[in-house]
Amino acid sequence: MTFDLILRITTKLLMPFMLVFALYVHFHGDYGPGGGFQAGVIAAGMVILYAIVFGKRTALRAVPTGVANAMVPLGVFIYLVAGLPGLFGGRGFLDYSVYHENHAKAQEWGIIAIEIGVLVSVAGTMISMFYAFIARGR
Amino acid sequence: MIALITMTLLTLLAAITVAIIVQRSMFGVVILAGVYSFLMATVMLLLDAPDVAMTEASVGAGVSTVLLLSALHLCKPREMAPVGSVAIPLMVSLIIGAALIYGTPGLSKFGAENAAIHQHVAPYYLENSLRDMGVKNVVTTVLASYRAFDTLGEVTVVFAAGIGVMMLLRGAPRDPTPREDETDSDGGSGDETDADLAEREDDAAAGTTATTAAADTSTSSTGTTPPQSSGSP
């Protein structure tokens, strides 16, 4: 495992930028293209790249299987919880107007809140699927 | 210029489709499918749909390729020869292909503004989303605000699909022989601690004994537990 020095260094250099790009895609989703789904896939891609280059054990130390598995239902839960303030605020499920007095701000916050749920669930699903595949490998 | 790029991309898509059909090596098929997804992402960009392009590039070309390669790792890398007669599949393919070609002239032009899909609710969203939501990206407002219920369903689908794949891959018990090999090959330390524990117990019970004897007694005393090979290194 010494011949892949360039691959390792490049991966190490790229990883923080991948994570920042995922967060950019997520939080910039109301201006530019992208959103929680794309951000989740990019974040999962970072973990998968790490696992491919540095090996299964190293990746499992960084992101254990349990964490990845827990993210899958956690995202759906975050989404549901983000919809509840509207319901208890007397507006209706997933109505964001209770988040802020300013309507546009409220929409922005609500959208980012539910997209966090999407991000967590999608990233968890992708990483868990990858882990499930490599756990069966020879 | 745009038309030329579009023609090149669509021709490349057709060429890659033919290559995927002809290709027998599964590895080649997976890589070609990734190339196909990247070309498709570029086509989406030409259709002014950067959100879809981003999804296609990251999911279709990125994660799907990795997952297909991982699946390939678990099975044989060559496509099997057809088992039965190819007459019925060929007929089904020909009929469906003919129906699709028959329907193609009825489609609106590539990227046309007055296509049927742009006539239904799309004009409403385009005109009112900025006023209703104050958020500039129409795709985001439709997905996360107008249609937040649908997106909740979508996340639930992702959740269910992920759980399903995980249960398929690791829920079912594998046949026991490779599992034992696996624990033997990488779980040396666990076996050693077991032997050490047994040795210490023996030491406490009958004073100091030769290590070989301790190993023997440990195997005999732990005869009920499955890993028979643990005592003798």
The verdict on A69 touching B (C-beta cutoff 8 Å) is: yes
Beta-carbon neighbour count of residue B186 at 10 Å? 10
Chain B interface mutation, best of A28, A115, A125, A134, highest count of B Cβ atoms under 10 Å: A125
Q: Is pLDDT at B191 greater than 50 in this prediction?
A: no
Task: Choose the closest CB to B155 out of A33, A118, A126.
Answer: A118
Task: Choose the closest CB to B159 out of A29, A73, A137.
Answer: A73
Please state, in angstroms and rounded to a whole number, the distance separating the CA atoms of residues A123 and A62.
Answer: 15
Query: Per the confidence metrics, is the pTM higher than 0.80?
Result: no
Lowest average pLDDT, out of A55-64, B29-38, B77-86, B154-163, goes to: B77-86
Work out the mean pLDDT of chain B and round it to a whole number. 76
pLDDT at residue number B81: 79
For residues A71 and A118, the answer to whether their CB atoms sit within 8 Å is no
Asked if the ipTM is above 0.90, the reply is no
SS3 A7: helix
Which residues in chain B have their CB less than 8 angstroms from residue A138's CB?
73
pLDDT at residue number B181: 45
Cα-based distances in Å from B52 to A53, A100, B10, B108, B140: 28, 30, 17, 20, 12
DSSP for A39-101 reads HHHHHHHHHHHHHHHH-HHHHHHHS-HHHHHHHHHHHHHHHHHHHHHHHHTTS-TT-GGGS-S
Contact B166 A132 (CB under 8 A): yes
pLDDT at residue number B126: 84
Chain A interface mutation, best of B47, B55, B129, B159, highest count of A Cβ atoms under 10 Å: B159
pLDDT at residue number B83: 81
**A2: pLDDT confidence band, cut at 50, 70 and 90?**
low
- Residues of chain A numbered 42-61 and touching chain B (CB < 8 Å): 42, 44-45, 48, 52
Between helices A103-135 and B64-74, what is the axis angle to 10°? 20
Average pLDDT estimate for A11-38:
89
pLDDT at residue number A1: 54
Alpha helix ranges (H) inside chain B: 2-22, 26-46, 50-55, 64-74, 87-103, 122-133, 138-141, 148-166, 176-186, 188-206, 211-221
